[in-house]
Every structure is written in C-alpha cells, then in structure tokens.
Structure 1
Amino acid sequence: MRIAVTGGTGFVGQALVSALLARGDEVWIISRKTAQDRTGQERLHYATWQQLEQNPALLEGTDCIVNLAGESINQRWSAKAKARILNSRTDAAARIAKLVGALRQKPATVVNASGISIYGTSDTKTFDESSPAHINDFLGSVVEQWEESARTIPAERLVLVRVSLVLGNRGGAFPLMSLPYRLFGGGRVGSGRQWMPWIHIEDMTRVLLFCIDNRDIAGPVNACAPQPVTTDQFGRAIGKAMRRPHWFPVPAFLLRTLLGEMSSLLLQGQRVLPAKLQQGGFDFRYPTIESAMENLVGKSSKPSV
C-alpha cells in the first residue's frame, strides 16, 4: 500500500512508520519542515505541507492518509499553549481535507487521531464508542473541534482513533511517570480512584494498522486496552514490575500547584472500553496492565517500539 503519515516523526508516528515499512508499504511522511532521509529506505519519502500545496499530485495514488499531527499536551496550559494545542490539530485536518479535495484519485481511507477526552470525566460511568460526547473541560473541547474538522475530509472511509495514554519507553508520558518508582518514590496520585485508560505502544501501532486494513471499521474507535485501571492500580503495577515500593502519595493540591490546569490529566479520568476493536476481532498483545508493565519495566523486559 501507499500510505501518507502526518506526525510521522512523533512517538506513535515513528512506531507506525517502522511497522508500515517492515511489512512492505511505501510511506510518505508529511511535515512542516524539510527532513533529510538518513535511513536509506527506498520506500520512505518526505514532503512538506508547502510542497504538497504547490504540487498535491505527489500523493496521487495514495491508498490511505494517517493524521497523527498535533502539538504535545504535555506542557503547562497557558493561553498560548492552548491555542497551539487546538490549532495544530484542526489546521492539520483542514489541510488534509484541502489536499484530498485536490487529488484526482482520492485515498479510500483517512485515519485521523482523536482522543478519549470527548467522553468527559467520571469515576463511576463506563464509555464506549456508542457513548455521546460530554464536553466538560479543555481537552474535551479540543477533541470535539478536532473531530469536526476531520469530518470535512472527503474520504470514502474516515476512522477517528480516540487515543488513550500510550505506554512505551521511547517517548510519551510513561518514562516520566515511571521515574519516581525508579527513584523509590512512587505512590498514589490524588485519590487514586480516578480511571486511567491506557494502551501499550505495540498495540497502539497494531490498532492503527488494523484500522488502515479493515474496511469494516469506520467512525470512532477507542484505542485503549480492554482492562482499564485506576491510577492507584496503575502505580501498583509499575511498582510490582520494577520491584519498587508504592508508598509515597502525591496530594492533589500539589499537582494543581505544579501543573495548573494540566493536572486534570492525572486527577480526572474515565473508564473507556474498546468495543469496536473487540467486536472486530482485534487481539491485544497486552490486555492487562500487569502484562504491559512486565514488558516495559519488568526484569525480563525488552526495549519497546
């Protein structure tokens, strides 16, 4: 297949591009700046948004576009940061809509990243893809506008992959989340009762491949493991795999002081299930937090993708 990827140099994007190349696909990475291909991969190409605006025909014959572009949310949410977080997502989707509209042979599939924040937060409710949107915070609003922008893309099949916390050792939030345990200082965050949907980077990559290949999959898809955990259970699993104590609680007021509004990522959550993936027969390699932690930080762990 011929597949274009935006955000292909990010944590999830790099893992996806490697998987696509490994199975023999031709990959185009779309970015803001010109990139130098140092991999020697004959099937890997780069194009900037400016180049594609001037010559959209570069992507004629593309089977699928995967849009993973977006400013990191792991920063203090100042007014300027909020604008960057939102605009980077809606602008990328709008650019893809314009690009696809300019192609004579349009890609059959667009897989657009999204987020589980669209369901709102709750300590008691369970959400799947049939649950309505409930916008009660900044990230929920971002996801709502992100999906609205993505739905303007004139593709035959649009998949909105609602991503949860992606766990891997080479990027994302997990290296920082596990650091206190490496230093024997890990423990409960806030009440510890808040839900934390998650997914191993290997399964995240496989979910994207599944959505690219499976023509029966369309619309929202929750990219999360089938067994969500509370933050307390999450921390205990890290400690157990590392042979470290889970004893040093971090009070909510301290997180709010240090992180501001971004502390909601750790202090609020939702119990989300991947109903569409399970109904479609997707097989999780890491369905439990214990299996994921043993792979990532256990004594027998191997480097994750």
Structure 2
Amino acid sequence: MDAQLRLVRMARIDGQPLPSGLERALGVAVDITARKRTEQTLREVRADLTATLRALPDLMFEVDREGTFHHVHAPRPELLLVPPDAIVGRNQRDLLPPGTLREAELSELAFYDALTGLPNRRLLLDRIEQTLLRQAREPSWCALLFIDLDDFKRVNDHHGHGVGDQVLTVLAQRLRASVRETDPLGRLAGDEFVALLPDLGENAAAARRVAQRVARTLVRTLGTPLHDRPAITPSASVGVLMFRGHHAVADLLAQADWLMYRAKDAGKGQLTLRWYGREAPTPAPRPPAPRRHG
C-alpha cells in the first residue's frame, strides 16, 4: 500500500447471519473515527509527558491514592536507601517506620513544594497536561507564562539562603494572588515559576490583552519591595507564549523559556510576548535550543 495513504474514517461492524437458505448477513456499522482520534491524541500526549519527565534531573515517585509506588524516577540512585526495584509495587506504609508521616503529609511531599506551598514540578506538569487535553476537544487561546526572578543568586549570596527562602515564599504568595485560582501555577525549579492562563476565548486580540495585563501585573507585583526586607528589591522576567489548541508540554515550555531569556536580555522586570502555532495571527520566530540555567 502507498505509504502516503492514510485511513480517514474508522468503523466498528457487528453482524449476524440471516435465517434463510441464502448466505446473507445483517450488519450494523458504527463510525468510531472520533473515538479513535481521541485515543491517538491521548497516546501522543502521554508519550510527550513521559519523555518530559524522563528528562528531569529530580528524584520523583508515582504514587496512587492508596500509597502504593508504581514508578520511581531516580537519575541519581545514590539518593535512595534501597534500589528503585525494591520500592515499586510496595506501599509507603511498608517502607516508612510506623507513625513517621500521616497520609496528608505524604500527599504534600509528593505533589507540593515544601517551601512555597505551590504545586511542585510534577503536579504542575500534570495540571498543564490535563488542561491541554481539554484544549484538544475545545480549543481556545491560552497563554503560558514562564517567570524567572532576576539576580536571585545575589540575594542568596549577600543575605543568606534563609533570607532567600523567605523571599521565595513571599513572591510565591504574590504569584498565587495574581492569577485565577483555577489557573495552573507552580514552582518549576529554583527561582523559576510557570503559570498557564487557559480559556482566553476565540478572539486573538482580546486574549493577548488579557495575557499582557496579567503578565504586567505579575511583573509589577513581584517588583514591589518586601516590607520586612526593604534592602531587597525583587524583580522578575516573564516570557509569555500565546497558543491555541493542544501542543506538547515540552515544546511549549521550551518556547516560553526562550521568551523569558529574551525578556531578561532586555533588562530587569521585562516581559516578552510571542505567538506560537499555525493559528498564530503573526509568525513567531523559532528559538534556538533551550539553554540550561540554574
């Protein structure tokens, strides 16, 4: 068969022979094209998420509601007291001393950043993925905001990591107050945060205005001096990626990360906004390979 040909409609056919002397059968065909396409989209999304998680340098566990470990991501096995194979399939109650942690505390450790209280990288990526799955069914304009604090290393060097942790906690609270409660927001790593603004409507210009307003509010709010630390004046650079419909999370993050660096190159407390995807009203430049940063 020609490799260029592809199946465009799919059906399930159920039938049974007719009670007659002729070799005839009665059948019913049901169009299952939409279901098959949805299943294919879900497989592709799961593959993208799996590839993203495998590239992360952090130690991560996949744990169900009953506390059973289903997967261990350990790029540095020396961080574990036992091999990963000795953890998978076992319950946390079997691995921890009695009374060590309550179930709620385990959930906090697994899915929330201990310092800021925001969703950690794993929960953040999962929430973004779930939101993008809805975009596959009901596409609308969205904005992915990649937020990086400016010169945060200087805060740790000059004032100590304890003060740096206090600054991160305060700024995380400001971030949470600047977006809708239902908007996915979390701490990606270090002084990097990511927020997704979904369901901005069908009008590209109106969606852009909303995204710009939120991003500017973030920049202004994060740049406000701390009341108990007047010597510290924080600021943040924000990359704003406008897109519509479903895209791979890794691709969106790489684009938004690049835009954040463009904003940082322009000076402290800046933002850069670009469109992404085939439906973009203006063509977006393709970024180089994303740079690593701490």
| TM-score between the two structures when normalised by the length of structure 1 | 0.32
| TM-score between the two structures when normalised by the length of structure 2 | 0.33
Structure of higher RCO (CA pairs closer than 8 Å, 6+ residues apart): 1
Structure showing greater Rg: 2
